[in-house]
Structure 1
Amino acid sequence: MEAFLEEAKALLAELVALPTVSAEGRALEEGAKKVAEVLEGLGLRAELKRGYGPPVVLAEGGVGERTLLFYNHYDVQPPDPLELWATDPFTLVEKEGAWYARGAHDDKGELVARVVALRLFQEKHGFLPRVRFVVEGEEEVGSPHLADFVRDHKEALGAEAILWEAGGVDARGRPYLYAGLKGIVALELRVKTAAFDLHSSYGAVVENPIYRLSKALASLRDEEGRVLVEGFYHRVRPLTPLEMEVLAEIPDESEALKEAFGVRDFLGGARNLEFNQRLYAEPCINFNGFHAGYGGPGSKTVLPAEAYAKLDVRLVPDQDPEEIPTLLRRHLEAHGFHDVEVVVLEKGERPARSDLAHPFVALARRALEEAFGEKAVLYPNMAGSGPMHPFLHHLGAPAVGLGVGYPGSRVHSPNEHIRIRDFERGVLALLRLLELYFLEG
């Protein structure tokens, strides 16, 4: 395994050296070509598919009657703020048993782990199993073109099971896997009450947009976080008995997270099953930021002309992100906020959840438990979002995520990293899954 770790480090160093920041359109062509080169080095046939934003890398090869599809992405978040990095974000640095760089975990480290696991399988069993890879370059900006790509290439992507992009261990070092992701839609609410900023003395007779918008925002949810928008919950798919059972088995980390986050309490005092159900299986509205008026030092007596707030809405099966803006507009108008504009910022992603009773879910869980020597934690879906829905919808195959990260990996933050021991154990779990899937069925 030592030789493979050195190979993994060298390969990861090459990948993270390319600043493939999709939000800025940087190095995406170079990144796609490098990923294709890496996959061709495994013996796969790789090609760049164009016409769907940055090139999508599609690769396939190997032998066998069953096919496993890997989903990954080669784009990364911007490295900012640069001053908070201890090292160059686009140079792989090993220190204190970890590899540091932008993309070291999300998602280049995960891609490298899969390449290494396939190499180990090939060396151990003498052949490459039948696999396919789809590696996109827009995940960090919401994968706006991926649904169309999957729809148009569903035959070329065909597989009996899908291995999603990431995973790892939880705060206590327990391996985990997940079978779905929440959906998301990002919005902005805007209100303008004057043509330009006014002297604050006019506050006696002119409506203040901060007051107006804050009242509108307050109408969207109650004190416990439950959404008050009419029709918001009507598409929510009821949890099955198995999904409820799996939620109940998730260890309660509410107290540990409360201390780690520095919060007084969770909404509604949620604990145990209620905490898990709200976090992983219920939708929510979150306010990202509120912007208006003067926020500099000292005082400026001004009545601002406009205010706006950014928010995201996390969705669960079977909610439709395209319906959410309409529901919000209706709600605001019904509550007298005709002047508040609803603007969609990004194309939304639909929620997705695989059938937890599918044999592949049990197989992935078994692989983790055999590699780690302890019970794996199964999440029906994660609290975050991603482009899983098109794959489940068009391919009709289950998707499961497992990987090589941990909660302190600082994904999307300065000093992103993965611990080498997590990488090694994650690779062994991937290898065991390949063996169970292709050799034992």
Structure 2
Amino acid sequence: MDTFYAHIEANRERYLDELYALLRQPSIAAQGVGIEETARLVADRLERLGAEVKLLQVPGGAPVVFGSIGRGPRTLLIYDHYDVQPPEPLDQWHSPPFEPTIRMGEEAGTPLLYARGVADNKGNTMLRIQAVESWLATQGELPIRINFMIEGEEEIGSAHLEEFCRQHADLLRADGCLWETGGVNALEQPTIMCGAKGICYVELVARGAAYDLHSANATVVPNPAWRLTWALATLKGPDERVLIPGFYDRVRPPDEADMRALASIPDDDEALLADYGIPQFLGGVRGVERHRAHLFNPTCTICGLVSGYTGQGSKTVLPSEARAKVDFRLVPDQDPFEIARLLREHLDAQGFSDIEIVQFSQEHPARAPSDSAVVRAMSQAIRETYGQEPVIYPTMAGTGPMYPVCQQFGTPVTSGAGTGYQGSLVHAPNENIRLDDYWRAMRCMGAFIKAFA
């Protein structure tokens, strides 16, 4: 693999230029900005690689870029996405979010690359494509078939991907899938994750008068901000338990194998507490109990609240509308559509039938075995590249369309060959990667191809 590594080194400048071009193109799924243009950029890059490329689309959905290259007894599906989170709040960025900028990190000599989407998920997307180019240039033909599936709605819950997977099931069948994520944990240990939580994302809307009124009218006119606040207070108690009847009925507790996996995860409590700037975790959990809560407990989270006047200074107003965005992270065997129904029934029973529920995304949770061939191959690649054993997590706390892409077809999943680290600031202003991680992940991708063949 020495020639493979040398090719990466010789092409660093060009590879970075390609990444910069992708990062400069906004692709904000939530706002419908730049999606078609970014899909074309990704498709063009795969075509230059020599892949057979298709731009596929279901009605109303963003283009899915599907590229196939190589031959061999095994097929690897690579799932990534080209859409990104909205960059707001813009005033908290130290450089423009869509202008890639390198600054030195706190660690001496550590260059960081800042841009929206560089960590989630354009960096991983590009480095995996570039790794295949370096393989072809130095190792010859690929020993496996690689199918890239790169979508444009992941950040809004992959709203049309389930239908896409139904229509194109023949393209998705594989011996293993490399998921979008990869990197190191808070202790700088490389990680592998073998599952994902589901999600039910909604917006709750309370309405009052036909327009904003002078707040003196609060004596006789209902305030939707209070109405929404009272409704939200019925969803979850101070003990962090969700109060919706039936919410926990389908929760599958971790089994003995899961608990053994949790016990093998190193204790990074202090590193995380220091990074988050908080004195303790909810309920004071630590160690294995924190990992269990984090990976196997469902959640109910208020993601955003807006009503009335929130600008500088004061304005005495009685708002006409109040909105709250709420997500429920789900674990096996919860059903997002059932959770939406239970939420409606709960609000009605509590006297809040007037509150509208706007549904945004629903995704099922997914799990995959931690001893599959694709996980073993990534473990071997990590040992070769990072010089240490990976930490294998039975699932991740985040969400992705792993159920329709992989679980329904019985495809085992691994993460890895990615740039993630504790300071990536994914979904936040000043999202970044460490450039050293970019090149190391690319080398890991080459070792993974060799190990999975």
- Kindly indicate whether the alpha-carbon contact (under 8 Å) linking 1:224 and 1:267 is maintained by their aligned counterparts in 2: no
- Kindly indicate whether the alpha-carbon contact (under 8 Å) linking 2:370 and 2:392 is maintained by their aligned counterparts in 1: no
Alignment CA distance shift 1:292-1:85 (3 Å): closer
Give the structure 2 partner of residue 47 of structure 1.
54
Give the structure 2 partner of residue 62 of structure 1.
70
Alignment CA distance shift 1:334-1:19 (3 Å): closer
Alignment CA distance shift 1:59-1:270 (3 Å): same
Alignment CA distance shift 1:72-1:214 (3 Å): same
- Asked if 1:367 is matched to 2:381, the reply is yes
In 2, Cα distance between the equivalents of 1:297 and 1:67? Answer: 56
- Asked if 1:37 is matched to 2:44, the reply is yes
| Paired residue type of 1:382 | M
Aligned counterpart in structure 1 of residue 83 of structure 2, from 47, 53, 75 = 75
- Kindly indicate whether the alpha-carbon contact (under 8 Å) linking 2:298 and 2:329 is maintained by their aligned counterparts in 1: yes
Alignment CA distance shift 1:160-1:340 (3 Å): same
Alignment CA distance shift 1:7-1:156 (3 Å): same
- Kindly indicate whether the alpha-carbon contact (under 8 Å) linking 1:292 and 1:306 is maintained by their aligned counterparts in 2: yes
Alignment CA distance shift 1:78-1:298 (3 Å): closer
TM-superposed deviation, 1:65:
0.9
Alignment CA distance shift 1:16-1:206 (3 Å): closer
Using structure 1 for the length normalisation, give the TM-score. 0.90
In 1, Cα distance between the equivalents of 2:352 and 2:92? Answer: 41
Task: Let me know the Cα RMSD of the aligned residues.
Answer: 2.5
- Kindly indicate whether the alpha-carbon contact (under 8 Å) linking 2:79 and 2:177 is maintained by their aligned counterparts in 1: yes
| Paired residue type of 1:324 | I
Unpaired runs of 5+ residues, structure 2, are 1-5, 105-110
- Asked if 1:28 is matched to 2:35, the reply is yes
TM-superposed deviation, 1:26:
3.1
- Kindly indicate whether the alpha-carbon contact (under 8 Å) linking 1:150 and 1:394 is maintained by their aligned counterparts in 2: no
- Asked if 1:233 is matched to 2:230, the reply is no
Aligned counterpart in structure 1 of residue 239 of structure 2, from 221, 224, 232 = 224
In 1, Cα distance between the equivalents of 2:218 and 2:33? Answer: 46
Deviations 1:364-388 (A, max 9, x none): 2232133111221222222111111
Give the structure 2 partner of residue 432 of structure 1.
447
Q: Secondary structure at the match of 1:287?
A: strand
In 2, Cα distance between the equivalents of 1:304 and 1:82? Answer: 26
Alignment CA distance shift 1:153-1:105 (3 Å): same
Give the structure 1 partner of residue 428 of structure 2.
413
TM-superposed deviation, 1:258:
2.4
Aligned counterpart in structure 2 of residue 292 of structure 1, from 301, 304, 307 = 307
Give the structure 1 partner of residue 414 of structure 2.
400
Aligned counterpart in structure 2 of residue 313 of structure 1, from 315, 319, 328 = 328
- Kindly indicate whether the alpha-carbon contact (under 8 Å) linking 1:151 and 1:394 is maintained by their aligned counterparts in 2: no
- Kindly indicate whether the alpha-carbon contact (under 8 Å) linking 1:180 and 1:381 is maintained by their aligned counterparts in 2: yes
Alignment CA distance shift 1:98-1:196 (3 Å): closer
| Paired residue type of 1:6 | E
In 2, Cα distance between the equivalents of 1:263 and 1:83? Answer: 24
Give the structure 1 partner of residue 260 of structure 2.
245
Tell me which moved more, 12-21 or 333-342: 333-342
In 2, Cα distance between the equivalents of 1:299 and 1:415? Answer: 30
Give the structure 2 partner of residue 104 of structure 1.
118
Deviations 1:212-263 (A, max 9, x none): 4333222222223121211111122232221221122222333332232223
* Equivalent residue runs for 1:145-184 within 5 Å: 145-184=160-199
In 1, Cα distance between the equivalents of 2:86 and 2:320? Answer: 32
In 2, Cα distance between the equivalents of 1:212 and 1:93? Answer: 44
In 2, Cα distance between the equivalents of 1:332 and 1:50? Answer: 36
Q: Secondary structure at the match of 1:156?
A: helix
Q: Secondary structure at the match of 2:119?
A: coil
Q: Secondary structure at the match of 1:284?
A: coil
Alignment CA distance shift 1:151-1:420 (3 Å): same
Q: Secondary structure at the match of 2:364?
A: coil
Give the structure 2 partner of residue 356 of structure 1.
370
TM-superposed deviation, 1:30:
2.7
Number of residue equivalences: 437
- Kindly indicate whether the alpha-carbon contact (under 8 Å) linking 2:58 and 2:163 is maintained by their aligned counterparts in 1: no
| Paired residue type of 2:280 | D
Using structure 2 for the length normalisation, give the TM-score. 0.88
Give the structure 1 partner of residue 399 of structure 2.
385
Alignment CA distance shift 1:93-1:201 (3 Å): closer
In 1, Cα distance between the equivalents of 2:128 and 2:322? Answer: 47
- Kindly indicate whether the alpha-carbon contact (under 8 Å) linking 2:334 and 2:365 is maintained by their aligned counterparts in 1: yes
In 1, Cα distance between the equivalents of 2:25 and 2:317? Answer: 46
Q: Secondary structure at the match of 1:384?
A: coil
Q: Secondary structure at the match of 2:398?
A: strand
